[in-house]
Each structure stands twice: as structure tokens, then as C-alpha cells.
Copies of this chain bind each other. A is one copy, B any other.
């Protein structure tokens, strides 16, 4: 595997950066990101209710999955990592640096999600705690009065991560009153380009839809090309059946040029054993070159 090392990774951090990138991608340059930041983003909606097993209501459910399944990184907030980290030291963590709730509709107030802590805090924390922190994540919303502030924070975070040999993943979503269709491929390609201009290692994006609101593979190719050397992670979205999910994931990677996925609900909204299997199946396609068929076998 040939690595693309950003020029802002200093010499004495290149080996550490490579190690991190290789570890989280299984040497395939593709990332399976287990997304666990919804306790803030969606409040308790994703964790309690019809069709969700009761055990998902406890934050520990995700830690159990992350510690027993094959994953690239488990992305969640600093506070959860600090409360469960001592008991789950084998998990490769990605610290999601910001989050906001869903109480206010995007059309009513332009969204603003501010970094809770700095990359420096994360670097110190990794040292102090001995936890295996591979990188940091940050969500930015394009198209509102706070865009400038989130762009500046994102650029700072990516750069500080690289200076410390860590990976930086950006979640980028155009939002607000002036955004008509957030699944429009050309718009998502624009978001991908923003991620590239920010120097992100990976960019988590919405999936482009065709007019029938189905995944549009051609549009995804525009997106992944526009992203340049920043790998595109397709959003997992709401829970669907396993085969549909895995087939789409396979096509995103092998036809659309995506370099991984960020999946939360499709994993943790299952009982522990099932969740682990599903994570393993996703990992197999993303990082072990498995076919859909091979991945489906892992679910049994």
C-alpha cells in the first residue's frame, strides 16, 4: 500500500501517521468508521423506541460492539470515551470533537456546531490515558451564517491532527434555508471538494440520489473524483435490511469510488451478537475485499 502523507505531517510524525492510517484501513486505504455520536446529534431517538433493542439505550452497548467487532475506528465524543475508556482499552478511537442536538430545525436557525475541545487536548489525553486514539472528527455545515467559523475550525483541526500524526475525518453537510436538496450529487461533490481543500483524510458525506431517491452511482463518481485524495465515506443512514445495506456499500466502493463508510444505526440498533456480525460484514467489504456474498455469510 502506498500512503498519501499530507505535507503538513512533520518528519518525526510520518511513521506514526502511517501506522495510524494503515491500522484503521487494514492497509487497504479504506475506512470502516463505526459512528457513535448520535447521543447528541439525535438525542435519544436512535437508542430507544420501536424496533430498537433495549440494550442499545445504554451507551455501553456501542463500546461492547466496538471492542468485539472488527472496525476501523469507533467515533464518539470525548466524554463517553473518558467514562468507558479504562474498561475498553482495545478499541481504536476517533474523537468526534463537536456535536449539536436536533432540537432546532435547520431551516429555522443556521446550524452551528462548535469544537468542544482542541486537538491538543486529545493529544494530551492519549498520552495521559494510554488509550489508542487514531484521529479526530469534526462536522461542518455549509451554507449559513456560521459557515465561516466551522470552516476555520475544520482547517485548524485537520492541520493540528496532521502535526501530531493523527487522522482527520470531516463530516460535511450543506444545510439551511438555501439548500434545497441535500442528496443532489453535484452539491455533494461540492462538499467533497471543500473537504479536499481542507486537507481531510476522509470526508463523510450524504449519499447522492437519483430522481427516484435511490443511490446514484454515477453521481457518486463525480463526488469521489472531486474529493481528490480525501477518501469519501458514505453515510450509513437509517436502518435497512442487511442485504440492501451491504450491496449498496459494495457498489459505493467498487463502482462509485468511495473509500469506506460511516455507519451507526445499522450496527448498534441490533442486539450485541447481531451488531457484531453486521459490523464484521461491513468491515469485510470495506477493508478485506469481500464480496457481498462473502459478507452475508458472516451474518449467519
Contacts and interface: CB of A to CB of B under 8 A. Distances in A.
27 contacts: A6-B83, A7-B81, A7-B83, A7-B131, A8-B82, A8-B125, A11-B128, A40-B197, A44-B193, A49-B186, A57-B225, A78-B199, A79-B197, A79-B198, A80-B196, A80-B197, A83-B230, A84-B228, A101-B143, A101-B174, A101-B194, A103-B147, A109-B144, A113-B148, A114-B148, A114-B151, A116-B152
Contacts of A121: 159
A156 interface: yes
B148 A100 contact: yes
A259 to B, nearest CB: 14
A104 interface: yes
A187 B58 contact: no
Contact of A48 (B104, B178, B189, B229): B189
A86 interface: yes
Nearest to A105: B178
A158 B47 CA distance: 24
- Give the one of A57, A112, A144 with max B CB within 10 A: A57
A117 interface: yes
A48 B155 contact: no
Interface in A75-91: 76-86
A162 to B, nearest CB: 7
A179 interface: yes
Given A6-B83, A60-B229, 5 more contacts: A8-B125, A39-B194, A80-B199, A104-B145, A116-B155
A115 interface: yes
A152 B77 CA distance: 12
Given A85-B7, A115-B152, A60 B101 contact: no
A108 interface: yes
A251 interface: no
A190 interface: yes
A228 B148 contact: no
A273 to B, nearest CB: 20
A156 B226 contact: no
Given A7-B129, A79-B158, A57 B226 contact: yes
A200 interface: yes
Contact of A43 (B40, B85, B101, B190): B190
B149 A114 contact: yes
